[in-house]
Amino acid sequence: MRGFSGLLVVCASCVFAQTGEAPEVVRAKAGIERLRALVEAGVMPKAQLDKAEAAVADAEDAALLRRTLYGNELTDDQAGEMVAAAQRRVDRRRQAYEEGKKLVDNGVASLLSLSDYLQDLDLARKEFDLAESRARLTHELTQMAQAEELLDSKLAQEPEEARSLADRYEGDGAFNLATFARVETDFEKHFGKPLPISAMGETAVHRALGFDHRGRVDVAIHPDQPEGHWLLEYLADHHIPYFAFRHAVPGRATGAHIHIGPMSTRVKLGG
């Protein structure tokens, strides 16, 4: 039996390599076509097929969450898909709980049988909360990147109007992570809390907008907040370049933040 299980793992791995699907999706799909044929032939109840198809959908959502919620890269569009997948998993577990509760109410199952359903539902809810939190942070980062995109456009076309979008300080034009480490340390010493970094170097959001954000840092602080005032004075005292965004995308989002380092440059895309 152990040898047969090992063979299944090997086969699933081979299929995964060929189709590009996640192993849990491959496992969930295994035999579903045969099951569908049996249902159509009237040999198996349709409920069995519905259950198998739901397992496939849940495995696909789990694979999506592994790539997004638990991955390193995420864009604003992917964040929406991530939250939707997490919500579907909550809905499925809530439905499973309700079905289990009906069995208890009808005297078919014991009350103790609901504990696993409740545990699964609780985990799914926590996963959804985590997905919502990450999606919110990604959306804020997107707003910040859009603010820099607009400033970049204004600097090229209407440099005078660019001043209304961000306060600009050139400093000595140099910035590196060793310098930033001192900024972080001094901020935490002064305020007793970590510097709220939203983007450290390059991110999927910046790449999607065509920006090279390497060697730059975005900090989620409004320039007019006490922390913002302190940080801008600190950066100027140490000749560190920055852009302080207040009202970057009027009518859509403020994108307020402090960009530390030179302005991000446009990525030259090959034709």
The answer to whether position 260 is within a domain reads: yes
Average pLDDT over residues 176-188: 93
What is the extent of the structural domain holding 76?
Answer: 2-140
> Length of the chain in residues, anyone?
271
Tokens found for residue 131: 């997905």
Residue pair 255/249 in contact (Cβ under 8 Å)? The answer is yes
State how far Cα 225 lies from the chain centre: 27
Whether 18 and 114 share a structural domain: yes
Q: How many domains does the chain have?
A: 2
pLDDT given at position 254: 63
Residue 271 covered by a domain = no
Q: Is 126 found in the same domain as 74?
A: yes
List the structure tokens of 266. Answer: 């446009």
Distance CA 226, CA 180 (A): 20
Q: Report whether pLDDT(7) > 50.
A: no
Q: What is the pLDDT of residues 100-130, one digit of tens each?
A: 999 999 999 999 999 999 999 999 999 999 9
pLDDT score of 239: 94
Higher pLDDT, 36 or 184: 184
Question: If pLDDT is split at 50, 70 and 90, which confidence band does 271 have?
Answer: very low
Tens of pLDDT, residues 136-159: 999 988 888 888 888 888 888 888
Tokens 């109007």, located at residue: 161
Indicate if the pLDDT at residue 35 is higher than 60: yes
Q: Do 117 and 175 reside in the same domain of the chain?
A: no
pLDDT of residue 235: 96
Rounded to 5 degrees, φ, ψ at 256 are -60, 130
Instruction: Give the pLDDT band (50/70/90) at residue 4.
Output: very low
- DSSP character at residue 201: S
One-letter amino acid for residue 194 of the chain:
P
CA neighbor of 13 nearest in space, from 32, 34, 27, 33: 27
- Could you tell me what percent of the chain has a pLDDT over 70? 88
44-93 pLDDT, tens per residue?
Answer: 888 888 888 898 999 999 999 999 999 888 999 999 999 999 999 999 99
Within 10 Å of residue 134's Cβ, how many Cβ atoms? Answer: 18
- Mean local confidence (pLDDT), 235-247: 91
CA atoms within 13 A on the CB side of 142: 17
> Which of 25-29, 37-41, 178-182, 225-229 has the weakest average pLDDT?
25-29
Give the DSSP letter of residue 263. P
pLDDT at site 2: 37
Confidence of residue 16 (pLDDT cuts 50, 70, 90): very low
pLDDT at residue number 19 = 47
What's the pTM? 0.73
Q: Are residues 29 and 83 in the same domain?
A: yes
Q: Is the dihedral of CA 254, 260, 265, 269 positive or negative?
A: negative
Burial class of residue 125, CB neighbours in 10 A (0-12, 13-18, 19+): middle
- Domain boundary among the residues 140, 158, 190 is at 140
Amino acid identity for residue 248 in this structure: A
Average pLDDT over residues 257-263: 92
In DSSP terms, which residues pair with 253 in a beta bridge?
249
pLDDT range class, residue 14, cuts 50, 70, 90: very low
| Residue 148 token pair | 């820099």
**Does residue 161 sit within a domain?**
no
> 216 and 135 in one domain?
no
Say whether both 33 and 125 belong to one domain. yes
Q: What is the pLDDT of residue 247?
A: 65
Residue predicted with more confidence, 264 or 164: 264
In a domain, residue 158? The reply is: no
> In the predicted model, what is the mean pLDDT of the chain?
85
Q: Is 157 within a domain?
A: no
d(CA 240, CA 208): 27
Percent of the chain with pLDDT over 90: 49
CB-side neighbour CA atoms (13 Å) of 151: 28
CB 170 within 8 A of CB 241: yes
- Give the DSSP letter of residue 111: G
